[in-house]
Structure 1
Amino acid sequence: MSSQHDHDARERDVSGDVGSTDAERSAREWWAGIVEPGDSTAHALVSTLGASRALDLVSAGATAAEIAEALLATTGAGAGEITNLVDLISTGLQRWEGRTGSAHNDSARRAADRCGARFLIPGDAEWPASIDDLGEHAPLGLWVRGQLDVLPDPSVAIVGSRNSTGYGEHVTVEIASGLAARGIGIVSGAAYGIDGHAHRAALASRGATVALLAGGVDRPYPRGHSELIERIAADGAVVSEVPCGATPTKWRFLQRNRLISALASATVVVEAGWRSGSLNTAAHAATLGRPLAAVPGPVTSPTSAGCHRLLREHDAICVTTADEVAELAGVGGDAELLQPLRSATETRVLDAMSSRRPRTIDDIAARSGLDHDSVRACLGELDVLGDARHTPNGWIMS
């Protein structure tokens, strides 16, 4: 282990409670760079011994038996459990061996500083308590860009196919914007297709949204959503449990899905193929006991086959509107709206438009009494929400 960790250990010895907190945070950063997401063995060591002491043992070359004895001494468990513990820890040490001597932690910290990310650990004011429901598979810490505490309770995870159809995108926007109007947060994975439309609809409706990434928060993925992810970081939060600089892998995507389901009060799958990764998120939600819903689609559409599978085989609840999803998340219907579905500007712009004849921005501005910039920005939001569309001759109501 590098001299940085040795420095942290010395700091812990001489600086009392504050130093201990700093050392624990630093050690959890190291662990986040050593282990893959969802490592239950690492979680057991850290939660029982403390991240700093567990890291001291591993970096000092302690054997699996020595670490197991430390665990038993701390928990007071019977000596009969030591064989199983030694086997688990030995396997864990083999997994972590190639990373414990790396200098990746320092580069991750520098990358985090450059992008304005910070590392949250359990006990921090901004730490989402719902994540702890993952138990032994809970993250050791979370890298965050933005403000995670803007996400309200309840929040809903909206996930689905990357190869979404116009139908799925329309339903996603309707549900996400309706939930945002009710003050319900939107959680998703920033992927192409359904995820991206859920985030955009939440932003356009001035709602709170959080994106969970499979790679570092300093590396927007997919690259085509870089601008969207920057907007989410500015108005909500972008979150990952892997350090800055880490690349997304298939395993990390699957593990990222457990965070999406844990962070949300309920999960809705809008469109999903028979083997869609969204079904993995749905499985995590079901395991956690979170409400799970699916949107039905055309029976001939392969992009809805996974949703129909959830409805038929996994007791998912059928939902078709924002009202139904809000009820699933524990919020009532229209009487419980926390903010208007339409802003004053949106109302004026729509009043100035026609559903039969396209009108130019100049014409809409004159009819609404608004300036051109406000009209142009509002039309962009209405386009995302599916209430207006641009034609070669101007803008028309959808």
Structure 2
Amino acid sequence: MSEADERRLAWVYLSRVVQGPCAALSALIESVGVVEAARAVRERALPESLRGPTEQRRDSYCAAGDLETMRRIGGRVVTPDDPEWPAWRMLGLAQLEAGRDQDGAVPLVLWVRGSRSLLESTERALAVVGARCSTGYGDRVTGEIAGDLAARGWTIVSGAAFGIDAMAHRAALAVGGVTIAVLACGVDRPYPAQHDRLLAEIADVGLVVSEYPPGTVARKHQFLARNRVIAALSDGVLVVEAGLRSGARNTVKWARRMGRPALATPGPVTSAASVGCHRMIRDGEALLVTQACEVIDEAGPLRLSIPGSPPTVTGQAEALTGIRATVYAALPGVGARLPAALAAQSGLPLPEVRAALTELELFGLVGVGENGWHRITSGRATR
């Protein structure tokens, strides 16, 4: 067996053992390597923090069978060793504060149906999520925004649920665009079952993705963990219709923690289906958008200024290097951060963070308020 095959089987084995995010196992792999980590799990040579999470399926030696199942359905496993692993997307999760949330770990692997490259498909992507019991208004807004973005070359990422999710996928498919469905179960088990045909269409032209091995059934806690993958694979998260306790708000939480823009569309003030969107907009958790061009303004790539014209904020930000660039990148697209939090996220000493913030303020790129430092996203920057 080649070293590459041994490593792939080790990744697959560990994915089956923990079935979902496991920060302690990720830390062990980082420390000793995936092959040695798999051996430690099999032989129970583990720290206390890993004995519980690995005990139930430690003796599950079906890695070769899992790979065969994926081959049979036209799928594959993508590991951090593979060229199509979206490493730069996963950095958003890797930089989260360790121990703050047990579901915050980087996926061990991603199980994928569809022939497109996962890396290339997520180069420019937007997550579109929202209410399962959507209204006609919500469906129409989702269709217009997601369809317009897909027609412009954006990949639409969602969770294949009823309501807004399904509408976002269908809007992308209708214009011949690319869409990615992220599941909270194995990619060989369509969920919901009524979306079997929709998921097959997505796999034909886009991708169906999960961190859970084939055969895994959907459980409640897996949907919340799945939301972080939706956010991680995207440049931003758009919520169209959400109740006050909507799961879409959980996806927004992950986007904000990774510094990705969180966006929401308003609805009628009398609509219970839009209460969550209105609350997020009012509380500063999401920016109000109403059309695709506004989404691109917030989630799209930074624009260079026209030669000879006064430098714009985005143009100045594009030109940043070194510590200034690192500190600016650590600031969220929406909301504010204190210097200590920026130092922890960026790995820079606190004095260097404070100095960089002062310089960025002089450039007109950041401002400071009672909640901390924040980006200035429009207008002219100072030279």
Structure 2 match to 1:94: 52
Q: 1:167-203: CA deviations, max 9, x gaps?
A: 0000000000110121111110111100000000001
How has the CA–CA distance of structure 1 residues 149 and 54 changed in structure 2, closer, same or farther, with 3 Å as cutoff? closer
User: Structure 2 matches for 1:316-335, cutoff 5 A?
Assistant: 316-330=286-300
TM-fit CA distance, 1:328: 1.5
Structure 1 match to 2:334: none
- Select 1:32's aligned residue among 7, 15, 35: 15
Structure 1 match to 2:375: none
Native 8 Å contact 1:111 1:245 kept in 2: no
Native 8 Å contact 2:13 2:60 kept in 1: no
The structure whose Rg is larger is 1
Native 8 Å contact 2:142 2:167 kept in 1: yes
What 5-or-longer segments of structure 2 have no aligned partner? 99-104, 304-383
**Alignment partner of 2:132: what SS?**
coil
TM-fit CA distance, 1:206: 1.0
Structure 2 match to 1:202: 172
Native 8 Å contact 2:9 2:64 kept in 1: no
Higher helix share: 1
Q: 1:77-115: CA deviations, max 9, x gaps?
A: xxxxxxxxxxxx313212211100124545433322221
Percent identical across equivalent pairs?
Answer: 46
**Alignment partner of 1:159: what SS?**
strand
How has the CA–CA distance of structure 1 residues 23 and 326 changed in structure 2, closer, same or farther, with 3 Å as cutoff? same
Structure 2 match to 1:118: 76
User: Structure 2 matches for 1:222-371, cutoff 5 A?
Assistant: 222-330=192-300
**Alignment partner of 2:253: what SS?**
helix
Q: Does 1:23 align with 2:17?
A: no
Q: 1:346-377: CA deviations, max 9, x gaps?
A: xxxxxxxxxxxxxxxxxxxxxxxxxxxxxxxx
CA distance in structure 2 between the partners assigned to 1:37 and 1:266 by the alignment: 23
Q: 1:312-362: CA deviations, max 9, x gaps?
A: 1243100000111121222599xxxxxxxxxxxxxxxxxxxxxxxxxxxxx
Structure 2 match to 1:140: 108
- Select 1:108's aligned residue among 29, 53, 66: 66
CA distance in structure 1 between the partners assigned to 2:196 and 2:297 by the alignment: 33
**Alignment partner of 1:255: what SS?**
helix
Q: Does 1:170 align with 2:140?
A: yes
**What is the root-mean-square deviation of aligned Cα atoms in Å?**
1.7
Moved segments of 4+, more than 6 Å: none
CA distance in structure 2 between the partners assigned to 1:111 and 1:157 by the alignment: 28
Q: Does 1:181 align with 2:151?
A: yes
One-letter code aligned to 2:85: W
Structure 1 match to 2:40: 57
What 5-or-longer segments of structure 1 have no aligned partner? 1-10, 12-18, 65-88, 334-398
Q: Does 1:161 align with 2:131?
A: yes
CA distance in structure 2 between the partners assigned to 1:42 and 1:258 by the alignment: 18
CA distance in structure 2 between the partners assigned to 1:94 and 1:151 by the alignment: 36
Aligned residues: 291
Q: 1:269-328: CA deviations, max 9, x gaps?
A: 011111111111010000000001011111111111111111112431000001111212
**Alignment partner of 1:186: what SS?**
strand
Tell me the TM-score normalised to structure 1 length.
0.70
Tell me the TM-score normalised to structure 2 length.
0.73
